[in-house]
Amino acid sequence: MKKALLAATVVASTLTVALVAAPTASASASGWDLPWGGRHHGHSSIPFTEATVTAGADGAYTLKWNAKGTKRVEIKANGKVVAKGGAQGEAVVGGLPAADRQWFDFEPERGEGLRLADRLITLEGTVNFRDAGGYRTTNGQWVKMGEIYRSDALNKLTDNDLAKLQRLRVKTIFDLRMESERTKDADKVPAGAHYVVADVFAGSGSFQAMPRTPDEAVKAMVDAEKAMVSGEGGKKAYTQVFEGFERDRDRGVLFHCTAGKDRTGWANASLLTALGVPSETVMADYLASNDYRKAANDAILSHLPAAQAAVYKPMLDVRPEYLNAGYEEVRSKFGSFDEYLESGLGIDGRELKQLKKDLLVG
């Protein structure tokens, strides 16, 4: 699938690994009440402010990096140097042996390195299965890759896909869908994985009636986002997911819904926000579903009459106003993101500190 650039108004970055070195002040500029709130001013041992891996359709990988304060960077794949350059650079690497996932070690002359891969996990039965990690936090740490994954529905996974997920050590799967979705399109789960139902909309009444106009569709999406935050089903489901992050010290945790964009989008946005990733990066990760799902969404819309397609489109999209509605609900119902984590999801300061210790490097 073509990796399109996100609109420059959101964040000019590739859809793969990591992205934005934003100052702490930018978090408050968004108007969100975010957990870092100017408290994180520590110095990370990782000099990279940017490092990305983008897989091309031809099997080659484009590597980009920027490492302040260092003169030389080497990048290794499978233990061999495949690219090197100065503090800032770009390289295209091809001819690597086939692998479930191709990892690259970005090693600076001074300081700690990074282990990164393309964010997308290519499977035959999904279009939006990706790594939750590979992002830089406001204090210069990075979210580890290969630990936590997000996806669309798993009902179309092939035997090859299931074998691949087993090799990638996917051990715990949280299904965020409603009972009707789970019954109609039951998950296929890799052997040995623990399957958990975490129904975000249980008892909420969300999506009981089909919107009749585009405006009604937008309102339904905004209202659903709010229900994810403050509805009893949402609080319970996301508590389960965060407990899964904490409990499964081996990681290999996957959470998903049907399209992998709304319920899954809030799960990932909450995780990244809790870890201290800047709001612009969180938004870019959320909006990337529009690019990963573009071909699938276009196919759906092309089969509908124009009037019906106009109503469907807002429900197939992810839009800034949807995610922002979630953060506004956090502020309205809990006062702050820290309080949402603590009283909404049961994550106190000690648990949050442990989560950061487990999932961040640098």
Is residue 21 situated within a structural domain?
no
What pLDDT shows up at residue 17?
Answer: 31
Contact of 170 with 121, CB cutoff 8 Å: no
Whether 104 maps to a domain, the answer reads no
Is the pLDDT assigned to residue 25 strictly greater than 50?
no
All residues at 6 or more sequence positions from 80 whose CB lies less than 8 Å from its CB, including other chains:
none
Q: In the chain, which residue ranges form alpha helices assigned H by DSSP?
A: 25-29, 159-167, 179-184, 214-230, 232-247, 263-275, 279-287, 289-292, 294-302, 306-316, 320-334, 337-339, 349-359
Which residue segment(s) compose the domain that 272 sits in? 126-361
Residue 35: inside a domain, yes or no?
no
Angle, helix 214-230 to helix 320-334, in steps of 10 degrees: 40
pLDDT digits (tens, 9 = 90+) for 109-152: 999 999 999 999 999 999 999 999 999 999 999 999 999 999 99
Q: How many angstroms separate the CA atoms of 174 and 172, rounded? A: 7
Domain membership of residue 14 (yes or no) is: no
Q: Is residue 22 part of a domain?
A: no
The answer to whether residue 291 sits within a structural domain is yes
* Angstrom distance (rounded) from CA 134 to CA 115: 9
Residue 82 counted as domain residue: no
Residue 61 lies in a domain: no
Pair 267, 177: CB distance under 8 Å = no
Q: How many domains does the structure of the chain reveal?
A: 1
Angstrom CA distances, 176 to 151, 173, 212, 259, 303, stand at: 11, 10, 26, 11, 27
| Encoded tokens for 215 | 């405006």
Q: What is the pLDDT of residue 173?
A: 97
Q: What is the pLDDT of residues 301-339, one digit of tens each?
A: 999 999 999 999 999 999 999 999 999 999 999 999 999
Indicate the pLDDT class of residue 96, thresholds 50, 70 and 90.
very high
- Mind listing the pLDDT tens digit for each residue in 40-64? 445 689 999 999 999 999 999 999 9
Say what percent of the chain tops pLDDT 90: 83
Q: What is the CATH number of the domain that holds 183?
A: 3.90.190.10
Write phi, then psi, for 143 (nearest 5 degrees): -80, 125
Is the Cα torsion angle 350, 257, 20, 340 positive or negative in sign? negative
Find the range with the poorest average confidence among 13-17, 96-100, 344-348. Answer: 13-17
| Burial readout 69-86 (b: 16 or more C-beta within 10 A, e: otherwise) | eeeebebbbeeeebbeee
Beta bridge partners of 52: 64
d(CA 97, CA 68): 31
What pLDDT is stored for residue 212 in this prediction? 95
Q: What digits encode the pLDDT tens for the residues 188-242?
A: 999 999 999 999 999 876 667 889 999 999 999 999 999 999 999 999 999 999 9
Model pLDDT, residue 204:
77
Q: What is the pLDDT of residue 252?
A: 93
CA dist 16 and 75 (Å) reads 17
Position 43 scores a pLDDT of: 63
At 61-89, the pLDDT tens digits run: 999 999 988 999 999 999 999 999 999 99
CA distance 112 to 132: 21
What pLDDT is stored for residue 203 in this prediction? 83
Q: Which residue in this structure is represented by tokens 């339904």?
A: 220
Note the pLDDT of residue 207. Answer: 66
Place of tokens 């909420």: 204
